[in-house]
A and B are shown apart, each in its own frame.
Chain A
Amino acid sequence: AQTVTQSQPEMSVQEAETVTLSCTYDTSESNYYLFWYKQPPSRQMILVIRQEAYKQQNATENRFSVNFQKAAKSFSLKISDSQLGDTAMYFCAFGGGATNKLIFGTGTLLAVQP
């Protein structure tokens, strides 16, 4: 069975600084997808970035980028030039295998300080 682990329950960063959120996963699948979702205080779940396991190139979306280390089963999210609006809970998620279910981590609460 797949598992997703986020070992940082809470993090804090100063506005305009860079922060990295950690995620590790376990799977025996060869084809899969990894995601970072953001949940701000409004509680809306927003897809931030997506990575296909077969791609070696790390995904980027504006200020958001990932460091995907397939052998280490690590999938960290880097937020550059942090903004107050980045304050949210961030969830790492795994998708793949025979179904299109997503397995979510427990989340990291990120606070961006002015």
Chain B
Amino acid sequence: DAGVIQSPRHEVTEMGQEVTLRCKPISGHNSLFWYRQTMMRGLELLIYFNNNVPIDDSGMPEDRFSAKMPNASFSTLKIQPSEPRDSAVYFCASSPRTRMDEQFFGPGTRLTVL
């Protein structure tokens, strides 16, 4: 299995631009999580989906952030417009139906907003 796939691995953009991060979960997993990691705030859960449906988006910092999961094999996290304080590493993770508590992480996307 290829594991959780994220793209791009690195993204550098300018303030005000739209940023889209992509995630492909492990095949057969039915839960998907988006996290943000910064030095100041550590690892924060932004949103998670069960069976493609958003369950909890209470961690999404503001309306500039949105996430979608159009099918079981793809999810996006969009920031529009981006700001320098959005600079962080964004992780996607997935978990299987049989062990919903066990999350497998992707390699992360390092986002830098100038």
**For window 78-105 of chain A, which residues contact chain B by CB distance below 8 Å?**
91, 95-96, 99-102, 104-105
Stretch from B63-71, B72-80, B103-111 forming part of the interface with A: B103-111
**Taking the nearest CB of chain A, how far is it from the CB of B41, in angstroms?**
9
Q: What is the count of residue pairs linking A and B with beta-carbon distances less than 8 angstroms?
A: 47
CB closest residue in chain A, given B91: A45
Given contacts A43-B89, A45-B93, contact A100 B101 (CB under 8 A): yes
Secondary structure at the B interface, as helix, strand, loop or mixed, is: strand
Pick from A35, A42, A106: contact of B42, CB under 8 Å: A106
Please state if B93 and A99 are interface contacts (CB–CB under 8 Å).
no
A47 to B96, CA, bound (A): 14
Residues of B within 8 A of A (CB): 31, 33, 42-43, 45, 48, 50, 55-56, 89, 91, 93, 95, 100-105, 107-108, 110
Q: Return 8 A-B CB contacts under 8 Å, by A number.
A: A44-B107, A44-B108, A45-B93, A45-B108, A47-B102, A47-B104, A100-B48, A101-B48
